[in-house]
Amino acid sequence: MKQLKYVFSDFVRNKRVNLFFLIQMIVVFLLVGLSANSIISTMKGYRAVAAIRNAQAYILSDSTSDDRFHEIFEASDENEPKLRELLSFIKERNIEKTYSQYSYPVDQFNGMPVFQYTANRSFFEVFGLTCNQGSDFTENDYVLGTDGTIPIIVGYGLRTTYSLGETYPIRDAGTGMDLHCKVIGILPRGASFYDIHNLSNEINLDHSYIKPMQDGNIESMSFSDVDMAISSTVFFTNNVDEVRSVQQKSKELGLFDYKVSTPQERIQWFVEHMKERNLFLLSIATIIVIFAAIGMSANLSMIISKNMREYSIHILCGGRYIDIYKRLFMQMLILMLIALVPTAISIGLSTSLFVTAIFAVMISVAIMTTPIIKLYAMPINRLLKEGI
């Protein structure tokens, strides 16, 4: 720790070189952090949707042309009842179970957007979501009640805004209707799920509340509600004909053109797409890292050259090479920790940050190797000759 004061004094004296060094590190760590985050998130997402991936299931991919899509939306008043009919048709099919959810941003809480989710039974089952305070939704909660109170489950971040057991007036984001919602459960901190269409996006539920998609409530759903509910549906069934009948029904009603596919196909497509993207990112990162490492190594050599006189004087006063190494190491460590801050802010305290930190240590050791070997190979008398 004796060397720490000299490290800080060096930062003050050689601001420009150290700042340049720091910027190089920030760029490299950000790039590595983002790449690692993308890869790890995709892997996590891939694992998280195992319940969908491993099941016999189907999804309806929207293949409606843009023009047709606009026509349907422009005539939403006319098409709204048809969409409801399609949703009712889905519910009437002999399908083992369906997974469906949709959401709206509704508010801000401490600068974070608050989302209102509406989800059916399988949402919780597929992602293993369960409350750690209060209770999960029961079968009855998915049935439209008579007292007009809707049970909701809130994310951890909203637990003080929406207290367990209390009822709150909430305006439904989809329909604009005023609802009375009773908080029946609170999710644990960091509860999340993945969209099968974008596995790299972990959707955190800390600032969300979830209401059940209630049977018999189709009439009060808005056009967007029904559209999102249908397009997010995953059909868990062995009978593909039941799913094709939905596709056919949509066509008959003059609604969207759906293509029946499996979630596995969709997930596989996404994984392949992410592989290509991550490979591209990693290739760029590798090139930048190589150049940056050379640059940083040269920069470190420059710092050592600039400080050679000071090091010599320290040795004259009883210091050793090991003290210089300690000092350089501390200097690198401090710069490295500062350089990791932007990455930590952008990707959060996560496995990706840990991976980036390990990378940071490895690259720091790598860039320190050449200058330190050079220094080590220099006898003290030569160091003094060059320094003093």
Minimum Å gap between C-beta 282 and another protein is 42
Q: Which is nearer to another protein, 80 or 310 (CB)?
A: 310
Name residues whose C-beta falls within 8 Å of residue 361's C-beta, 6 or more positions apart in sequence.
336
Whether the CB-CB separation of 247 and 233 falls below 8 Å is answered with no
Whether the CB-CB separation of 209 and 151 falls below 8 Å is answered with no
Structure tokens at 9: 């004094």
Whether the CB-CB separation of 270 and 197 falls below 8 Å is answered with yes
d(CA 377, CA 306): 18
Q: Which amino acid is at 133?
A: Q
The sign one gets for the Cα dihedral 289, 291, 297, 300 is negative
Whether the CB-CB separation of 254 and 71 falls below 8 Å is answered with no
**3 state SS of 95:** coil
Q: Which is nearer to another protein, 289 or 308 (CB)?
A: 308
Q: How far is CA 90 from CA 18, 86, 109, 170, 197, in A?
A: 63, 6, 36, 28, 21
Structure tokens at 33: 């952090």
Q: Which is nearer to another protein, 144 or 384 (CB)?
A: 384
Minimum Å gap between C-beta 297 and another protein is 25
Structure tokens at 293: 């490492």
Closest CA to 198 of 142, 263, 290: 263
Q: Which is nearer to another protein, 173 or 308 (CB)?
A: 308
The radius of gyration of the chain from alpha carbons, rounded to an integer in Å, stands at 29
Minimum Å gap between C-beta 338 and another protein is 22
Length of the chain: 388
Q: Which is nearer to another protein, 317 or 377 (CB)?
A: 317
Q: Which is nearer to another protein, 79 or 312 (CB)?
A: 312
Q: Which amino acid is at 263?
A: P
Minimum Å gap between C-beta 270 and another protein is 56
In eight-state DSSP terms, residue 55 is S
Minimum Å gap between C-beta 3 and another protein is 8
Which phi and psi (to 5°) does residue 383 adopt?
Answer: -60, -45
d(CA 252, CA 4): 76
Q: Which is nearer to another protein, 269 or 376 (CB)?
A: 376
Whether the CB-CB separation of 196 and 266 falls below 8 Å is answered with yes
Minimum Å gap between C-beta 23 and another protein is 23
Minimum Å gap between C-beta 200 and another protein is 49
Q: Which is nearer to another protein, 96 or 310 (CB)?
A: 310
Minimum Å gap between C-beta 13 and another protein is 5
Helix 76-92 with 240-252: angle, nearest 10 deg = 160
Name residues whose C-beta falls within 8 Å of residue 145's C-beta, 6 or more positions apart in sequence.
214
Minimum Å gap between C-beta 321 and another protein is 8
Q: Which is nearer to another protein, 259 or 306 (CB)?
A: 306
Residues forming the site for another protein (CB under 8 A)? 2, 9, 13, 309-310, 312-321, 323, 379-381, 384, 388
Minimum Å gap between C-beta 332 and another protein is 20
**3 state SS of 317:** coil
Q: Which is nearer to another protein, 257 or 310 (CB)?
A: 310
